[in-house]
Amino acid sequence: MQGKGGLPVHVNSVTAARQGVTASSGLELGLDKDAFLKLLVAQLRYQDPMSPMSNTEFIAQMAQFSALEQMYNLNNSFYVLQQQVQEAFMLQAVSLIGKEVTAELDEQTVSGTVEKVNWTAAGTILTVDGRQVPLSAVRVVSVPEPEAPPIEEQELAAPVPDTGAQETETEALDQEAGDSPDPD
């Protein structure tokens, strides 16, 4: 068989299938499990009937396919785990809003209340009293002391109104029993 430029072209099932996969998929660094199965089917379909593939070759390729599928599933599991860890870090950073932190920043100690959290390519950045502080620089986290509400002067100086209706406990009991005090 002649190829481009009159050079002989040798076609076997493996190179034909690989060329088809490479041409259709562009620049891929490896085969996924679907491409591997297509390659195996093409190899079985176009094998030379005079020298068929041995059973050991077929079993070896099936073992490779099984290993490929397990690696693919493991890769997906790692991706899901990475996403969950990232979400946990985000929740942890958000929980710092309103907390007092102490951080080491440019060889200085920065303390204050976390106002907001930003996620950037450089990492998680906290805004602490207007300053940008990387989460990795935080050394101490504490709950701020609650401030007592200010007491107004009117509340302190206001007299308690006298209703004149205060009775002693004995007088109230006497009236309930029907005994009235003797006016003598």
- What does the pLDDT look like over 21-46, one tens digit per residue? 444 444 445 666 778 778 878 887 88
Structure confidence at residue 21 (pLDDT): 42
Verify that 9 and 61 share a domain, yes or no: yes
Verify that 73 and 102 share a domain, yes or no: no
Structure confidence at residue 158 (pLDDT): 57
Asked whether 111 and 100 are in contact (CB, 8 A), the reply is yes
pTM above 0.75, yes or no: no
Structure confidence at residue 102 (pLDDT): 94
Verify that 28 and 63 share a domain, yes or no: yes
Verify that 77 and 103 share a domain, yes or no: no
H helix or E strand, kind and range, residue 172: helix 169-177
Residues near 135 by Cβ (< 8 Å), separated by ≥ 6? Answer: 93, 96, 123, 124, 125, 126
pLDDT at 128 over 90: yes
The range of the structural domain enclosing residue 52 comes to 4-81
Please give the average per-residue pLDDT across 134-146, as a whole number: 89
9 within a domain of the structure (yes/no):
yes
What is the pLDDT of the chain when averaged over all its residues? 75
107 within a domain of the structure (yes/no):
yes
Structure confidence at residue 115 (pLDDT): 94
pLDDT band per the 50, 70, 90 thresholds, residue 159: low
pLDDT at 58 over 60: yes
Q: What is the CATH number of the domain that holds 99?
A: 2.30.30
pLDDT band per the 50, 70, 90 thresholds, residue 101: very high
50 within a domain of the structure (yes/no):
yes
Structure confidence at residue 70 (pLDDT): 92
Least confident among 58-72, 96-110, 140-154: 140-154
Verify that 67 and 131 share a domain, yes or no: no
Asked whether 140 and 101 are in contact (CB, 8 A), the reply is yes
Q: Count CA atoms within 13 Å of residue 125 on its CB side.
A: 9
151 within a domain of the structure (yes/no):
no
Give the C-alpha separation, 77 to 84, whole Å.
11
Structure confidence at residue 64 (pLDDT): 85
Structure confidence at residue 22 (pLDDT): 42
183 within a domain of the structure (yes/no):
no
Verify that 73 and 51 share a domain, yes or no: yes
132 within a domain of the structure (yes/no):
yes
Number of domains in the chain: 2
